[in-house]
């Protein structure tokens, strides 16, 4: 998806549709269009949309927010099959230096499986005392070779592919750096199957490698070949995780929770003022972390908010296996996972021309979350904005996100 003139419009105009303070129309039936599974589509969609999902807070039977959250959280955690990782991992600091007005630490920790998780921690040079913190969640972008480098910059010589990546999705910024400069401790870790956590070719059977190897890993052509291989390997990983009794969202959450555990051990972090944010795959992880971990005081989900109907009928071909949780759609619609964090502050940022979703279902997701927050008596703590342009987290969107964090965490 290439940038269009609409993306440029956002620089001057800001959000073309900010829902805060505006009346919302009633939640309408799901958007109907040509679907991806033909005559089976209406039937499949009816399996979870003949009525409200069973555990939706919008059901009249639920009147107590605390009781509903306890019941729904237990069900979501069960459906995700979240693996138990045990103790909080011990963090090793490999390098500490200053760059771009920031104090930067390159760190890692060892989980019970796989290679060590690498992470970067950023905060303003000279900052003292306990600061609010942000768990920065990097995107997918069809690029599993890279992880934390997608949203950070730690030298004047970043990899050429990351320069292009940040130009395309983030208007040339390393947004983790920019929010850190506002007075936050920011941690960005490689997610499951990305970068330091990626599947190494040497670890799979030779017949599955397509003649590739892990040699010369930073070469752009080798990275392109690896990413194509990793894309084709997703269904293998997803099937294997299902057979292990877990799901990709479950593993994502377990590893992101471990990263948050590490972040909370730091003496420079105020554990009562922690936010999380991310674009696309990072937005997906924000839905899970923001919805399930009460330590996240403020959440900003960017470019990953729609409904199960959108994923089922219209856009499954644009999405990774990382988004799917069996059975849960009959119990909660996708936005209601993030709604589990009500009444805590939540911002959703969407792009009008985002080809990963349909506009009617993005709008319906907003109305669902607005209704959940209204019923929780916290309408002032939820906001959704729509910006012109394709799938991105550009400077105007970043400005709104950062201001939202400042409002609720400072």
Digits of tens for pLDDT over the chain (410 positions)?
333 333 333 333 445 445 444 556 565 555 556 788 888 888 888 887 667 999 999 999 999 999 999 999 999 999 999 999 988 999 999 999 999 999 999 999 999 999 999 999 999 999 999 999 999 999 999 999 999 999 999 999 999 999 999 999 999 999 999 999 999 999 999 999 999 999 999 999 999 898 999 999 999 999 999 999 999 999 999 999 999 999 999 999 999 999 999 999 999 999 999 999 999 999 999 999 999 999 999 999 999 999 999 998 888 888 888 999 999 999 999 999 999 999 999 999 999 999 999 999 999 999 999 999 999 999 999 999 999 999 999 999 999 999 999 999 99
Distance between CA atoms of 365 and 333, rounded to whole angstroms?
9
Q: How crowded is residue 349: how many other Cβ atoms within 10 Å of its Cβ? A: 28
Distance set, CA 13 to CA 9, 214, 382, 396 (Å): 6, 46, 22, 9
Q: How crowded is residue 341: how many other Cβ atoms within 10 Å of its Cβ? A: 26
CB 188 within 8 A of CB 151: yes
Distance set, CA 104 to CA 86, 109, 113, 343 (Å): 28, 16, 27, 33
Distance between CA atoms of 174 and 153, rounded to whole angstroms?
6
Distance set, CA 224 to CA 146, 175, 194, 217, 392 (Å): 11, 24, 14, 10, 21
CB 97 within 8 A of CB 108: no
95 has which bridge partners?
106
Distance set, CA 27 to CA 52, 360, 362, 368 (Å): 11, 11, 12, 7
CB 344 within 8 A of CB 284: no
CB 280 within 8 A of CB 304: yes
User: Roughly what angle, to the nearest 10 degrees, separates helices 65-80 and 281-292?
Assistant: 130
Residue ranges and CATH numbers for the domains of the chain are 1-410 (3.40.50.1820)
pLDDT of amino acid 6: 36
| 3-state SS, residue 233 | helix
| 3-state SS, residue 253 | helix
């Amino acid at each position: 998806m290439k940038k269009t003139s609409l993306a440029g419009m956002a620089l001057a105009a800001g959000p073309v549709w900010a829902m805060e303070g505006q009346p919302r129309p009633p939640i309408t039936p799901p958007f109907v269009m040509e679907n991806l599974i033909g005559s089976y589509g209406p039937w499949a969609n009816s399996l979870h949309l003949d009525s409200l999902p069973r555990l939706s807070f919008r059901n009249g039977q639920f009147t107590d927010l605390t009781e509903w959250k306890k019941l729904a959280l237990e069900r979501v955690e069960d459906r995700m099959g979240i693996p138990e990782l045990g103790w909080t991992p011990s963090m090793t600091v490999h390098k500490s230096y200053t760059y771009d007005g920031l104090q930067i630490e390159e760190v890692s920790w060892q989980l019970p499986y796989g290679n060590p998780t690498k992470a970067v921690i950023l905060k303003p040079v000279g900052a003292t005392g306990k600061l609010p913190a942000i768990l920065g969640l990097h995107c997918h972008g069809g690029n599993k070779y890279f992880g934390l480098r997608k949203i950070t910059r730690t030298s004047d010589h970043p990899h050429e592919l990351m320069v292009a990546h940040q130009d395309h999705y983030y208007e040339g910024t390393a947004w983790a750096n920019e929010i850190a400069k506002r007075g936050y401790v920011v941690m960005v870790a490689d997610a499951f199957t990305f970068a330091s956590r990626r599947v190494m070719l040497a670890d799979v059977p030779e017949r599955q490698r397509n003649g590739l190897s892990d040699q010369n890993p930073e070469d752009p052509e080798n990275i392109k070949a690896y990413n194509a291989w990793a894309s084709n390997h997703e269904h293998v990983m997803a099937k294997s995780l299902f057979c292990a009794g877990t799901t990709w969202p479950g593993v994502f959450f377990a590893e992101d929770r471990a990263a948050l555990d590490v972040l909370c051990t730091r003496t420079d972090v105020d554990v009562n003022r922690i936010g999380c944010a991310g674009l696309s795959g990072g937005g997906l992880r924000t839905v899970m972390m923001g919805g399930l971990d009460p330590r996240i005081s403020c959440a900003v989900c960017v470019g990953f908010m729609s409904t199960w109907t959108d994923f089922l009928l219209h856009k499954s071909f644009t999405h990774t296996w990382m988004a799917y949780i069996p059975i849960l759609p009959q119990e909660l619609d996708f936005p209601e996972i993030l709604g589990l964090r009500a009444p805590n502050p939540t911002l959703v940022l969407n792009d009008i021309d985002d080809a990963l979703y349909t506009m009617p279902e993005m709008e319906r997701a907003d109305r669902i979350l607005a209704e959940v927050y209204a019923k929780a008596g916290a309408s002032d703590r939820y906001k959704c904005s729509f910006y012109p342009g394709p799938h991105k987290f550009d400077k105007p969107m970043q400005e709104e996100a950062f201001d939202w964090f400042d409002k609720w965490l400072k």
